[in-house]
Amino acid sequence: MSDPTLLVVDDEPAIRRLLRTTLASQSWRILEAGSGEQALQRASETPPDLVLLDLGLPDMDGVEVLRQLRRERPNLPVVILSVRDDERGKVAALEAGADDYVTKPFSMAELIARLRNALRHGLQQEGTVPLFTSGDLTIDLVRRQIFRSGEELRLSPREWDILRMLVRYAGRVLTHQTIMKQLWGPTGDVQQLRVYIRQIRQKIEPDPERPRHILTETGVGYRLAHCSTGRVG
């Protein structure tokens, strides 16, 4: 497989330089853009495999850039760069279809892991294989079966619906609103969702108080993590 192409969209030259130097050493091919218009042009000229998008661009709202990128390529993985106090912007971007977000300042190791997860999710969306395996957890969407360390687990119908949705978007942050809207429509309640997540964790996590499968993104939503041995398909 050829090296993946990453489009880095950020108006700070120092950040673009850091990412270019570090990610190129990780076998990524790097394209750069310092504005929204430039990003859309670069993506049109040389379609990337993945986009790392800053929300605070000088000429366009980053969420609008995301929407335009997705209109051209619905399954294009997009990871958002965001300042820590920009929770509203992060939620808006995730609701618009972003796969994940990374806060500034960021850990390079975490950024690389999240980029790889987003790329894997994009490939999954192009040809979904309905078997998810991560660490000691195996979920078969066709047979509606779930195993932990070889032991079959029993979930209620609503717990299964929530877990199935997390599997479909494994590695991607799903906001509370996204989950509730799909499963309950306009009547969804965040506290109700939290109760179901807690019940699922009691069944699938070795230690529900320190979950390693269903991770909480504080104030935003949840993510089904890929453990080091995890895969989809």
Together in a domain, 64 and 160: no
Task: Give 130's pLDDT tier (boundaries 50, 70, 90).
Answer: low
Q: What is the pTM of this model?
A: 0.66
Together in a domain, 107 and 172: no
Out of 126, 155, 188, a domain closes at 126
SS (H, E, C) the chain: CCCCEEEEECCCHHHHHHHHHHHHCCCCEEEEECCHHHHHHHHHHCCCCEEEEECECCCCEHHHHHHHHHHHCCCCCEEEEEECCCHHHHHHHHHCCCCEEEEECCCHHHHHHHHHHHHHHHHHHHCCCCEEEECCEEEECCCCEEEECCEECCCCHHHHHHHHHHHHCCCCCEEHHHHHHHHHHHHCCHHHHHHHHHHHHHHHCCCCCCCCCEEEECCCEEEECCCCCCEEC
Together in a domain, 58 and 140: no
Task: Give 142's pLDDT tier (boundaries 50, 70, 90).
Answer: low
CATH number at residue 109: 3.40.50.2300
For position 232, what pLDDT does the model report?
37
CATH number at residue 147: 1.10.10.10
Tell me the residue range of the domain where 227 lies.
131-232
Together in a domain, 117 and 16: yes
Q: What is the chain's mean pLDDT, rounded?
A: 85
Residues of the chain with pLDDT > 70, as a percent, come to: 91
Together in a domain, 76 and 141: no
For position 133, what pLDDT does the model report?
86
Together in a domain, 106 and 139: no
Task: Give 230's pLDDT tier (boundaries 50, 70, 90).
Answer: very low
For position 127, what pLDDT does the model report?
52
Together in a domain, 72 and 183: no
In angstroms, the CA 91 to CA 175 distance is: 7
Together in a domain, 14 and 97: yes
Together in a domain, 59 and 149: no
Together in a domain, 91 and 119: yes
Six-digit token pair at 109? Answer: 């190791």
The answer to which of 5-14, 123-132, 135-144, 194-203 has the lowest mean pLDDT is: 123-132
Out of 108, 126, 144, a domain closes at 126
Out of 100, 126, 152, a domain closes at 126
- Specify burial of residue 207 (Cβ count, 10 A radius: 0-12, 13-18, 19+): exposed
Q: What is the mean pLDDT of residues 1-29?
A: 86
The pLDDT tens digits for 32-81 are 999 999 999 999 888 888 999 999 899 999 999 999 998 888 888 899 98
The pLDDT tens digits for 96-107 are 889 898 888 888
- Specify burial of residue 96 (Cβ count, 10 A radius: 0-12, 13-18, 19+): middle
Together in a domain, 13 and 119: yes
Say how many domains are in the chain: 2
In angstroms, the CA 222 to CA 1 distance is: 31
The pLDDT tens digits for 146-175 are 999 889 999 998 898 899 889 888 888 899
Count other C-beta atoms under 10 Å from residue 109's C-beta.
Answer: 8
Together in a domain, 21 and 44: yes
